[in-house]
Structures are given as C-alpha cells and as structure tokens.
Chain A
C-alpha cells in the first residue's frame, strides 16, 4: 500500500514537473532563433557601436559614445535623419488615404471592375528594382514620360532626380505609387467583411454616403487601418532599393535615408563603428514607433 502511494506520488510529481516545463520547452526553438538571430546581434551591434573600427583604425578601439556624438554633430547625418522623417510623414498618410479612397471606389459593382483592381494592384507585383528602373526613365529630363506629360500643361520640363528640392519628392511619388495598391487590397478585404445591415439602417435613418463612411465605415475599418499604417511605416524605414537605383542618395544628401546611409557607411566606407551606432539609432527609432503603435492599438481594443 505504502509502496503503491509512493509510486503514484512520484508519477504525479513527475507529471507536474512536465506540465510546468512543457511551455518553456515548446517555446525553446523560437526562443533559440530569437536569441541567436535577433537578441545577440542586437547586443553585439550595441557593443561595437562603442568602438572605433574603420579604415584608419583596423583594430577596434573603445571610444564610448564617440560614434554617437560624431553622428549627432554631423550635418550629413542630420540631413539623412530629416529626409527619413519627411519620407515617413508624407508617404504613410498619403498612401493609406489613397488606398482607402481607391478601395471605397472599387468596392462596388461596375464594368471592368477586375481590370481596375488589377491596374491598381499591379505595381505591388513588380520588384522594386524594376519599378525604380522604369521610373528612372519616366523622370528623364525633356523626353521622359512625366516631363512630356507636364509640358502638355505648359509646365517646363523638370530635372526630377537632379534637383535637390525635387529628388526626394520624386522618390516619394514612386514609393506611394508602389504600395498604395497593396494597401487597397487590405481595405477591400476589410470592406467586404463589413455587415450590410448597419449601412441599410443608416440609410433608412437618412445618412448620406459621406456620413455613413465617416461614422460607420471608418471606425469599423480601424483594425485594417492600423495594420496598414504599421506596414507603411516599416516600408518607409526600409526604403533602400530605389535610392540605390535612382539617385545613390544624391544630389548631395537630398535623398539619402537611414537604411541607405547605414549600408553605405558599412559597405562603401567600411566604418563598422559608425554603422553600428547608426543601427542602434534605427532600432531605437523603430522601437519608439512600435511602443506608440502598441499603446494605441491597446486603447482601440479596450475602446471597442
């Protein structure tokens, strides 16, 4: 009897142990990859950012915050930071807004609907490098498509990529064109999931189209909007291919953005310390955005 109890006790304890350990075991593979490919590199890059390591200093030398102070006092890096912010602040709202408008327009039945949807979605399918090459031709002075178009309205031909005040705008137009169709698809999916009865009752109550969009559609699409905005912000920070293809960051630094500058610092200038400090800054900026986004999403969830 006593033996019997002992056995049952020990199996119970053992199964208790397994029950407690199982969740940890289950997340081990994921944790392993997160640690090896995210956390360790993160710590490593933070560590290297405190060292001078470049073409002049082949053996890393500890300089504390030296890379950061030199970055923050560098007018070139200041330009890069401002360009990135402008790009984010302009492309995110504009492409999200346009995508919503397109989705609302295309969320009804009319002739050649599929064709329109295809046309607006098409830029998404193109690889960014091909899209940038196409736009490179469109922006060509004098005989480029865009200049031929504006000359039709008696606006003189512009050197889109060759003027500092226009080059960033030219890149933003490409960025918006490229991603709007993609976001439109999310909004379309969102719109098609909305219940019809609410709109019908609103109609009966005398709400016009704008009112029902503003008071019903938009609040119900909040989840989609937040998701799309997140993607748009990430896209904006990840802008690098089109800069590489179209402007190389120029004229002067007018189109250079964080990720491109980071790439250039590491692979053209071989400045490991400075590039590490730039990575840390990029990570911090993205972290701030993620926290803000997380907090607002949480609030929306409680609000609903």
Chain B
C-alpha cells in the first residue's frame, strides 16, 4: 500500500515536471499566431491596413544605438529623445543601448534570421551598408530624401560621409556619428625639439624627420605611435589615401596588391624597422592615448573621437593635424550612420524618418559634435553659434572637419568584416615580420578575391 502510494506520487511529480517543461517552451508556440507579420515579411504594407485604427495612439519607435566613445552618451541621447518627443507629440522613442557596433549588428541580424521584428531605426557602421543590403535588412530612404528636398537636402552633408550611403542608385542611410583619424602631437615636445609647433607634418617625409628629432635614444619617448590592432586596416588606409590611392574600387573589388598600397605598407613598416621612431610589433589601439598623454609618444594617430578625452587628460599643449602619406594629407572616414530597418509598419516608417531627420539636423549634429568629439555630418553645423563658441574655446575641434577634404571612403565591401580582416592581417604580418610586404598583400588579395567573387556588383 505504502509502495503504491509512493508510485503514484512519483508519477504525479513526473507529470508536474513534464508539464512545467512543456509550458517552458509553450510561449513560442502560442505567441506565433499572434504575430502574422513575422511569418509574411514580404507583405510590409499588410500591417499598415490594420494600423489606421491606432493612428490616434502614439507610434512607438525602437532605436538601437551602440556606444563607441568615452563620455555620458546615454544621457546625451536621452536628451535628444526628450526634445524630439516634445516636438512630435504622436511619437514615442524607446532608445536601447545595444553594446558596441558589432553587438548591434549581431542583434539585428539574429532578430531578422529568427523571424522577429527588428528595431525601427539603428546606428550601425557606415561600412555595414553592403552586408545589410545583402541580408535584405534595410530600406532605401530615396522617397523621404526626395520629399525633404532631394539634392538640396543632401548637399549639406559632407560628401565624404555621404559616400558610404549610396549603392545601386539608392540612398540607404544618413551619417550620424562620424569620425576621421587625425594626428595628435605634443606641442611642448615640438618646441623643445626646435620644431614649428603651430602645424603638424605635411607629408610622410616630414613626419619621419620630425619623429627622428622627437625620439629619445634611451627609449623614454617615441617620435610616433600608430596602432595596428583592433581595426588595423583603418589607420593603414591613411597611408594609402595619403599616397593618392585607396584599397578598394567597388563593393566587390579590392585593390590590396598594387604598387601604391605596397609602398604605403613599406612606409608603415619603415617607422619601427628602418627609422626606429616607433616601437616594434603591433601597438594596441587602447594604449595610444595613454602613451600620448603620459609623454611616451610625441605624436599618435587616433580617431578624432578621442579629442575630448585627450584634451581632458593631457597636461601639455595638444596640437591636432592630419594623418599623412607620401603625397600629403590623407585619411579614411569612419563611424556610424542611421539606418531604417525593413519590415516595420508604414506608420512607423514615417515616424522613423522624422526621427532620423531630427538626429541629423544641423543643430543636433552641432550639439552632438560639441559633446562627444564626433565630426558633425553637416557643413552648416559649423556655422551655428553654439559651434562657433565651442571652436573659439577649443580650436582643435575644427581640425577634423576641415580634414574631410582630404578624406577618402573607408574600406567597405560585401562580407565587410572578413575583407577588413584580410587587409588587417596583412598589415600585422608585415609589421611583425611574419611575412614580406609583397607576400602579405598578395595573399590578402587572393583571399578577398575568393570571397568577393560570389558577389556580382
């Protein structure tokens, strides 16, 4: 009898556990019918027909943004959202801090793959364009741009920044948090070495000559430090663009294995190996600002986005100039754009465009630039009173924007992360002596060609 009761009890426990386990996976099954749009992503207009009933209710937008620079970014973004909501009573924006650029892209791609609803607007790398188009994840903004004034609207954006938004005769994004590598130099050290501290080197030869005068033989000060870790291709592009060339010509065509690129890599490798003005090996991106503000390096190449932080920490006069190649100044652009995601309801689309317009407006861009150190994406931002006052106080802030005239597009192709790694690996292999410049570039070109051969344009 006792035994029997035990048996029944055990069975009951098992059943309860089983029920629990089944209910654990049940929500997926029950919620599936609740969201028919997800099963029919092609029918983007379908939700719009059901939407009119809800026109009086506020449209709730979801906005993903990554944080890529130091500073109180969340507070600043929340401030913009309150301003936007106050001006547009029918729209509510839920801003989601989504990690770094990579995390944000991953989140969105996995959401789309899993059949979920992506955010309405997201800040993603300007170079993610082709991956996003390939994944059918974003919407072209042509109609909205046309309605906003077409060319008269876009002409105010810096052309170098807008270059990353065009593909197949569509405009896919608007530049939001954009940067450019610049050359930071220690003006006090320049003076002490008998150099003109009012301007940085105008080309590669001048930079090497300056660096030789600045380098202390005991190893306590290096003339220059250029990072080759994390995204090595980026600063390397400065050398190439400064040599009057670039590393790609189309979304499916890279030009790694050319004499100009080889010369640029030779210039990079010469700094530690031949001229001994830079520490050998791969230098970490995160260490460069520390080395600079602590007087270990007299010059560094780093993102314009580090300006605020460097000025805050340096106890000497900081000069800002442009990165250089053999023929003069040259730099790639960098940073993130605002994208509208595919598969969002029509009423969301209109609201999302309003939000994108607000975030890229002249005043928002001026304020964003003042508070973070990003380059404002619109030329008129530099004519606002707020920006003029800021530049009067921090003249270095004007340098990066003026440098855009020397800028070329950042390496952006299909399968971007992989292509960027091939070039980055080649740069690191040459710098660490693991292979010769010619071999490194040749192998990078072959690997990239193999991947890109799958894309027709």
Contact = CB atoms under 8 A, between A and B. Distances in A.
Nearest to A159: B281
Contact of B428 (A22, A140, A141, A252): A252
B90 interface: no
Contacts of B287: 140-141
A251 B432 contact: yes
Nearest to B280: A159
A94 interface: no
Contact of A56 (B7, B414, B425): B414
Contacts of B418: 268-269
Contact of A55 (B17, B135, B283): B135
Contact of B18 (A18, A32, A54, A142): A32
B432 A29 contact: no
Nearest to B429: A252
B227 to A, nearest CB: 10
Interface extent on B, as a size class?
35 or more
Interface in B291-329: 294, 296
Most A Cβ at <10 Å: residue of B109, B229, B296, B429? B229
Contacts of B135: 55, 58, 270
Nearest to A144: B287
B282 interface: yes
A142 B296 contact: yes
B432 A269 contact: no
Nearest to A19: B7
Contacts of A57: 454
B106 interface: yes
Interface stretch (A80-88, A160-168, A177-185): A160-168
Interface of A: 15, 18-19, 22, 25-26, 28-29, 32-33, 36, 54-58, 136, 140-143, 157, 159, 161-164, 247-248, 250-253, 267-270
Interface of B: 4, 7, 10-11, 14, 17-18, 21, 25, 102, 106, 109, 131, 134-136, 219, 228-230, 232, 279-284, 286-287, 294, 296, 414-415, 417-418, 424-425, 428-429, 431-432, 434, 451, 454-455
Given A56-B451, A269-B418, 20 more contacts: A22-B7, A25-B10, A36-B25, A56-B414, A57-B454, A157-B219, A159-B281, A159-B282, A162-B283, A162-B284, A162-B432, A163-B280, A163-B282, A164-B432, A247-B229, A248-B230, A251-B434, A252-B428, A268-B417, A268-B418
